[in-house]
Structure 1
Amino acid sequence: MFQVLSKSLIELEVNGEIKSIVVRPADTLLFALREQLGLTGTKDACGNGDCAACTVLVDGWPVKSCLMLAVEAVGHKITTIEGLKDIPIQKAFLDKFALQCGYCTPAFIINSHALVTIHPDANDEVIKEWLQSNLCRCTSYEEIKEAVKWVLGQ
């Protein structure tokens, strides 16, 4: 006989606010953000962690939200693209033409923001390593690299 898994009420700290939502044990953080909290800047693309379009910050570190369960995010600070306002990397993306169709741009901005925050002295190799976690069909990554370097003062 199958046991029915019940839903649970959890609280998540998202973009500086405490949000109460009801989740199933198998609900991903991506599902909770998009479907329950309406934060659609986090994109649902591959669903298996390959593309990183769903990247959010968890305690300041980039995490693929399609691979994290919502219940695992309890007690952590979640930041989505909607929670980043007027940060230097956003202006750099515009000034350096570091976006194309825009689908993957939120995750690139999230990842790039974490990169310049965690590695303020990043060299080309570190930048390349961080950017290769995000997939994009529209750009050569050079413009994104230039945006990161501009924020780093390089």
Structure 2
Amino acid sequence: MLPPLARDGDLAPFLSGTALPTGRAFAALSAASSLVRAYCGRTWVTDSGELETVPDPVVQATVFIARRVALISDEGASSETAGPFSVRRDTGMWMSATERLLLDPYRISSGVTSMSTRGPLGIERGDVLVSGDLAGSDPWVLTAEEIGR
């Protein structure tokens, strides 16, 4: 098992004095670290198994996720209703938009990118004009050269 990306001491200030069962903080940090590693596509672990220096935003996102995991009720999801409003608290591990924002700079891209290409007339390749009765069976397609742009 890989070491957690954050320590118990990083998580403690976010628990508001809540005492956790033995091992729960470590388990929450380990689970959150797995999610962060899967999202970022990197481990922050050397070939010898030692934890590298983990960037602060990565530690922070790991702690925020671990806090939710650590404080999950053992009974499962819960919901509350007040008039026409209701809220459901899910027990699954998830990542907020803020956490993704913290982690995005540390993601490893797949190497696949897209870019716009333009032909000699400044028309994006693949630009087409579809004309005719679109509800019918045979609309015709005009390329950039055919429409003289």
- Fold match (TM-score > 0.5): no
Shorter-chain TM-score category? under 0.3
TM-score by length of 1: 0.27
Give the structure, 1 or 2, with the largest relative contact order (CA under 8 Å, sep 6 or more): 1
Larger Rg: 2
